Chains A and B, each alone.
Chain A
Amino acid sequence: MTFVGDGNGNGKGNGQAGQHLEDYAPIWPVVPGTKKISVTINGRQVEAEEGQTILQACRVLGVEVPTLCYEPKLSPYGACRICVVEVEGQDNTPISCGTQITEGMVITTHSERVIENRRLVLELIFSDHDAYCLPPCQFKCPTRVDIPGYLKANSEGNWEEATRILKRSLPFPAILGRVCPAPCETHCRREEVDTAIAIRDSHRYCADRVLEVDAPAPLPWPKEAPTGRRVAVVGAGPAGMTVAYYLQLRGHQCDVYEADPEQGGMLRYGIPEYRLPKGWMDRELNHVWELGATFKPNMRLGRDFHLADLLDQGYDAVFVGTGCYKPNEMGIPNEYADGTVNALENLYNSTRGVPVPLLKGARVVVIGGGFTAIDCTRTSLRQGAKSVTIVYRRDLKDMPSQDEVHEAIEEGATVIFQAAPMRIVTDAKGRVTGVEFQRMHLGEPDEKGRRRPEPMPGTEFIVECDTVLGAIGQGPELSWVDLEPDEIRGGLEVSRQGRLVVDPNTFRTGVPKIFAGGDVNLGATTVVEAIGDGRRASYAMDYWLRGHDLDDPQVRRVVSEPQPSFLTIVPFTDDVKEPQAVMGKKGPEERSDNFGEYEYGYTHDQAMGEAARCLQCTCEAIGHCDLREAAIEYETTLNMAIDERSIQDNPYVGVNHGYGRDETHSFILRDYSRCIDCGRCAQVCKDIVGAGCYDFIGKGFDSLVTTADYVSLNETPCVSCGRCAETCPVGALMPRPRILETYQLDVSRCIFCGICADACPYDALRCGPEFEFSEYQRDLPMLDILEMSDRERPTR
């Protein structure tokens, strides 16, 4: 929305009025002798030219006013009503595209009332807009991976292309295919038909197929030429490795420092082998080294080096992704008694295959309900524990690891819900004999919607055990901060929860050149969150390394990736029911005593079938949709999750249209569901092209801009010029993706009738001056409709 336009739709932008005025060349005709009139726009007295509309004057002056139906080539139309402004002395809010400026006019473009009215327009449009920008799965994934895109490739059996699409925003699909809690799947629209798509299992399959062949991994895009910049990444965990992967691709040289002898961080030392086989994991993580990054193991921050040393060594940027390795304290008596085991230490040993003597043959109590608690439970069983009891203070449905807890129960664990530890009971020698718990009662929901546990006095009970594993979470280990010199320590802020504070959009700390992200900033969270953080951090760092100012609002907007989310109202009902394909896995007896991977993964047919179930509810116009841009600007983000649909977000939700798609035309793809009835295509087609294929059809709420009687474009006088798709501000009309073949021209059969030259809308074929010598040439520059569709462009 912050494009500074020249009044003709060619924008180049920033948000501040009056800045970078030299950057645009106004195409508004500057006729010598045109009368200048003075108007006040947003309190600034400015000169404009007689005959300009308010919108033109604003655009020339760099004041942003959003438009949807305004087509610069044509006279104002006035359908969308989003370009309203306030003019002193007028009762209503007139539209700026259709109001000519007059001497002394006082215009306000962003008053409360105007913003409310613009938001009204957007909310009304969205209440009848059965379409998504990002599909809900993609929106819910922290990495924003193109899920419909890779599923499409999967359904065609093109595993390499699927993996390439995945790696554009998620460099380690095989790893996440095993360990991701799959927030995407809880918001899948297929749920409205039968069951959600197995998104995680599907990318596990395609990534595995690519990993198992001995060929270079597919790159999301060609590696860029070296920039000469050097980056130090501290921590070879999910966040750090992601940063290194993307920065390396963008041509920056990365050195990855790791405290442990091997790569992976929590992936290696926190996730047991049976969930993530380490050999397989290394294969995928090695892609980072294949791109040219260097690994510096056994280098612990604070012990072997300091951030100051890195800056002294001339690194242009440093990314701190040291993760969370400090277990939280339970704060109960005897917490460190003989017989208590640190959960992380246990996993650290178990994952390396080192036996933990305290677990062998012991009765174990695991306190906590997170992934660590479940991992501890299942490794304890595999370490030979006699019995394992998990105690969690809330209910099953509040349990972060609720899916996996069933597998733990299958393997022999017991779970006690709604109980919190009071103290650890010890014998005279100080050895653990049990844990005393108190029953919890679930009170009012907190801000996350989880009900707060409240103690119930008098309900204490003791669970007898030999070993206690406290797994109630962990925080970042930040003792190294204090060892840094003052100028660095002063810039690093540690939050109340003991996390490193960074800018949420740019991932900068208070120290120049030092960025941070992943668990060290988020607290202990999922792998996919850390990877998502790492990806966004790498983009911000790349901008910064290329000399952009991260404080520039335009840059901030790009790196912060704002997303509107749209309400789904019309559920899918008419699709054929075909429930999710489920991966095979070993039975509990087979798996509970060893660390081998227990899930088999899909078969070839299962993977293709599962991917084909995807409803592909994505929008091809994302990136050049004016409606989306306006939605972000005016914060009309509507919740789309099924359980979050709410009239608080959009009071105007009501009946809506679920129009179909017209894919009959070879060049133009039409999706009426996305049409906002701005009428631009109808005007352009009639007034500029002269074909008149479109017009408003129907009356009232059912009005729709389409062809007469809704016929296919093939039945209209369409000349396939593509101008309708070009002017469409949303994704209702799009150049259809096509693979253009080379056309064969048999000159020996040509009778030089000239019909082809006449018919070609793009002058690709022309009659030369001496037609007998006319020749077929393709090396002249031609307008490429595919290229046009890919271009990021302000469509106004």
Chain B
Amino acid sequence: MAVELSPQIRILPGGEPRLLKGIGDLDPGSLAAVRKTGGYKGLTRSITKRSPEEVIAEVSAAGLRGRGGAGFPVADKWRAARSAPGDRKIVVANLMGADPTSLGDRTLAEGKPHLVLEGAIIAAAAVGASEAILAVRRDWTLAIERLKAAVADAEAANLAGYLILGTDVSVNVSVWEGSGAYVAGEETALIHALQGDRGMPLIRPPYPAERGLWGVPTVVHNAETLAHVAWIAGHSAAEFAKLGTRDAPGTKLVTIAGAVRNPGLSEVALGTSVDKLIGLAGGSTGTVKAAFIGGPGAGALAADELGGTAYDYGALGEAGGHIGSGSVLVTDAGTCMVATARFLLDFSAREACGKAVPCRIGTRRLVEALDRILAATPRPNDLVMLRELSMKIADTALCRLESLAPRPMLTTLDRFGDEYRAHAERGVCLAGSCSTDAVLPLLAPLAEAGGLRAW
């Protein structure tokens, strides 16, 4: 029996499905079915057979890094939170859908809510937290429904809540619904929102692991990271590291969109080359020109770089991209790089929370400069200004989203500077068409189902 998922979720064949295994077939509403396929095995082992230190050591040995964007080692975060003084500690699962093109978290929440829940409870037990909050974007109604049901089922089965499985571990799990926003992908902004304030990033340090929600040590992970935690606990660190590279073990959910034949979500081993990702999505519809890797703050890689660049935390970053939200936007020869950069930058500018001056006004000025270039009416030193302003924005940034915002523009300026110059100096688009809406059709398969309203 196929399980209904939100219509824009398309799971690609191939890849290395670990978290995605069984999604669409496994009934998320049936705890028995979930347990039959190994669900809550990891939780049981973690809290009945192992000390929290051992659980942290296991995650550390697996080399798991946060899948939400920054790629911070999970075990380090846990150790910091565990050793932070205080009786009350909190684990937050970030399901705010910051990047609307990234399907991973939503798919997990809809298809395997128990896996996310299990990961959250394992994390809570490991850091000594008695509360876990699943913060879900309000318009993910299906995900909210299934997560709530999962929590209720797990509590009834004594897999969550008070004195889990007869141990002295108690984790009170709640589902919190919040307005989705790009900035909610930033953990301190999410914490702010959870406190009932406007979601805006705070100064770090102190990091949330030391002082977070309500001033207590807080561990924030996205759903995918928690699912990996549950997977590691259910299997083993060694098993986890069988896929991926030495520096970046494990798998990653990737959303591949744009000029590809079959856009959708896939799970791949870290370290896979980028052009293989495009292959998973059925290959390009035309000639690949570039891939924007990492969501709204993506870095663009030119076609000739794709084959030699591994999708991981090291090589990709050196090439200018980053894993970020796990989205890959492929553009073909007919796509204008200036318009694409403008489109992504404009998203960052419009989604800015408005707190930091360089972000609130600076990103808007970058968009205006790109508009001038697209209209062939640039100011004399606009191209220089673009770089200088971007550099200074990164230099004075309050949060990571802000420092990443100019990246689509900077990386395309490096690789496709001639397109910028042709626009600015001659008013000619080397790609042929550069309407600022030209980029939207690239995301059309995802947009059809309404997943891109924010864009």
Residues on the B chain within 8 Å of A84, using CB: 395-396
Cβ contact of B389, chosen from A80, A93, A652, A699, cutoff 8 A: A652
Tell me how far the C-beta of B375 lies from the nearest C-beta in chain A, rounded to whole angstroms. 13
Q: Which of B358, B360, B380 contacts A701 (CB 8 A)?
A: B360
A677 near B354: Cβ-Cβ < 8 Å? yes
Interface flag for B259 (CB, 8 Å): no
Judged by a CB distance under 8 angstroms, whether B364 is at the interface is yes
Check: A769 CB closer than 8 A to any chain B CB.
no
Contact across chains for A125 and B361 when beta carbons are under 8 A apart: yes
Query: Which residue of the partner chain, among A120, A679, A703, contacts B358 with CB atoms under 8 Å?
Result: A120
On whether the beta carbons of B357 and A701 are closer than 8 Å, the reply is no
Other than A696-B355, A700-B350, give 9 A-B pairs with Cβ distance below 8 A: A78-B202, A79-B356, A95-B203, A124-B358, A125-B361, A651-B379, A679-B355, A695-B198, A696-B354
Q: Is the beta-carbon distance between B203 and A92 smaller than 8 angstroms?
A: no
Chain A 72-98 interface mask (CB, 8 Å, partner B; 1/0): 000011111110100000001101001
Is the Cβ of A93 less than 8 Å from the Cβ of B358?
no
In the complex, chain B residues whose CB is within 8 Å of the CB of A82: 357
State whether the Cβ of B32 lies closer than 8 Å to any Cβ in chain A. no
Report Cα–Cα, A701/B352, bound state, in Å.
7
- Residue B362 CB within 8 A of the other chain: yes
User: Which A residues touch B368, using CB under 8 A?
Assistant: 654-655
Q: Is A350 an interface residue (CB 8 A)?
A: no
| CB contact list, B361-397 vs A, under 8 A | 361-365, 368, 379-381, 385, 389, 392, 394-397
A82 to chain B, nearest CB (A): 8
Residues of A within 8 A of B362 (CB): 120, 124, 652
Cα separation A698 to B200 with both chains bound (whole Å)? 12
Give the CA-CA distance A696 to B203 in the complex, in Å.
17
Kindly provide the distance from the CB of A75 to the nearest chain B CB, expressed in whole angstroms: 8
Selected A-B contacts with CB under 8 Å, 17 pairs = A77-B203, A79-B356, A80-B357, A81-B357, A84-B395, A113-B395, A120-B389, A651-B389, A652-B362, A652-B385, A654-B368, A699-B351, A700-B349, A700-B360, A700-B364, A701-B350, A703-B360
Whether A121 is near chain B, meaning CB under 8 Å from some CB there, is yes
A117 touches B365 (CB 8 A): no
Residue of A113, A128, A696, A704 near B198 (CB, 8 A) is: A696
Residue numbers in B under 8 Å from A651 (CB-CB):
379, 381, 385, 389
Q: In the complex, are the beta carbons of A117 and B395 less than 8 A apart?
A: yes
A-contact bits for B392-409, CB 8 A (1 contact / 0 none): 101111100001000000
- B278 at interface, CB cutoff 8 A: no
Which residue from chain B places its CB closest to the CB of A76 in the assembled complex? B203
Residue A647 at the chain B interface, CB threshold 8 Å: yes
Assess A700 versus B395: contact at CB under 8 Å? Given A76-B203, A78-B202, A655-B368: no
User: Nearest Cβ in chain A — how far from B217, in angstroms?
Assistant: 17
Structural contact, A92 and B394, CB atoms closer than 8 A: yes
Contacts known (A125-B361, A652-B365, A654-B368); A78 close to B398, Cβ less than 8 A: yes
A100 within 8 A of B: yes
Q: Which of B181, B360, B364 contacts A677 (CB 8 A)?
A: B360
CA A677 – CA B352 in complex, angstroms? 13
Q: What is the CA–CA distance of A125 and B362 in the complex, to the nearest angstrom?
A: 9
Asked if A503 is at the interface (CB within 8 A of a chain B CB), the reply is no
Chain B: residues with Cβ within 8 Å of the partner, total of 36
Contact partners of B353 in chain A: CB under 8 A: 696, 699, 703
**The one of A98, A116, A125, A699 that contacts B357, using a Cβ cutoff of 8 Å:** A125
Report yes or no: A79 in contact with B357, Cβ–Cβ below 8 A: yes
The answer on a CB contact under 8 Å between B385 and A81 is: no
A406 to B323, CA, bound (A): 73
Decide: B352 and A703 in contact? CB cutoff 8 A: yes
Q: Is A467 an interface residue (CB 8 A)?
A: no
Taken together as a complex, chains A and B put the C-alpha atoms of A206 and B50 apart, in Å, by 90
A128 (CB) vs chain B CBs: closest residue: B361
- Asked whether any CB of chain B lies closer than 8 Å to the CB of A509, the reply is no
The residue from B354, B363, B365, B397 contacting A127, defined by CB atoms under 8 A apart: B365
Q: Is the CB of B205 closer than 8 A to any CB of chain A?
A: yes
CA–CA, A701 to B200, complex, Å?
A: 14
Contacts of B397 in A (CB 8 A): 92
In the complex, chain A residues whose CB is within 8 Å of the CB of B198: 695-696
Complex Cα distance, B379 from A18, in Å, reads 45
Task: Assess A701 versus B351: contact at CB under 8 Å? Given A124-B357, A696-B198.
Answer: no
- Measuring CB to CB, which residues of chain B are less than 8 angstroms from any residue of chain A? 181, 197-198, 200, 202-203, 205, 349-358, 360-365, 368, 379-381, 385, 389, 392, 394-398, 403
Q: How far is the CA of A81 from the CA of B349 in the complex (A)?
A: 17
**Please, which residues of chain A bring their CB within 8 A of the CB of B355?**
78-79, 677, 679, 696, 703
Question: Which 6 A-B residue pairs are closest in the complex by CB-CB distance?
Answer: A703-B354, A98-B203, A701-B364, A78-B203, A124-B361, A654-B368
A125 to B392, CA, bound (A): 14
| Nearest Cβ on chain B to A32's Cβ, whole angstroms | 24
A656 to chain B, nearest CB (A): 9
Contacts of B358 in A (CB 8 A): 81, 120-121, 124
Q: Which residues of chain A from 105 to 133 have any CB-CB distance to chain B below 8 Å in the complex?
A: 113, 116-117, 120-121, 124-125, 127-128
Which of chain B's residues have a CB closer than 8 A to the CB of A696?
198, 200, 353-355
In the assembled complex, the Cα of A778 lies from the Cα of B203 at a distance in Å of 46
Structural contact, B364 and A117, CB atoms closer than 8 A: no
Chain A residues within an 8 Å CB radius of B385: 651-652
Residue numbers in B under 8 Å from A78 (CB-CB)? 202-203, 355-356, 398
In angstroms, how far is the closest chain B Cβ from the Cβ of A51?
Answer: 12
A125: B residues at CB distance < 8 A: 357, 361
Closest to B361 in A: A124
Interface centre among A84, A95, A98, A701 (most CB of B within 10 A): A701
When C-beta atoms are compared, the residue in chain A nearest to B368 turns out to be A654
Compute how far the CA of A121 lies from the CA of B365 in the bound complex, rounded to whole angstroms.
Answer: 12
Distance in Å from the Cβ of A427 to the closest Cβ of chain B?
A: 60
Return chain B residues, CB-CB under 8 Å to A121.
357-358, 396
CB-CB contacts below 8 Å: A693-712 with B? 695-696, 698-704
Residues of A157-180 contacting chain B, CB below 8 A: none
Residues of chain A in range 654-695 having any CB-CB distance to chain B below 8 Å: 654-655, 676-677, 679, 695
The answer for the CA separation of A677 and B355 in the assembled complex, in Å, is: 7
Closest to B398 in A: A78
CB pair A654–B395 under 8 Å, yes or no, is no
A678 nearest CB across to chain B (Å): 9
**B351 pairs with A93, CB closer than 8 A:** no
Contacts of B403 in A (CB 8 A): 92
B361 touches A701 (CB 8 A): yes
Question: Per-position contact with B for A45-83: 1 when CB-CB < 8 Å, else 0?
Answer: 000000000000000000000000000000011111110
Q: Which of B181, B197, B351, B396 contacts A120 (CB 8 A)?
A: B396
The smallest beta-carbon distance between B350 and chain A, in angstroms, is 4
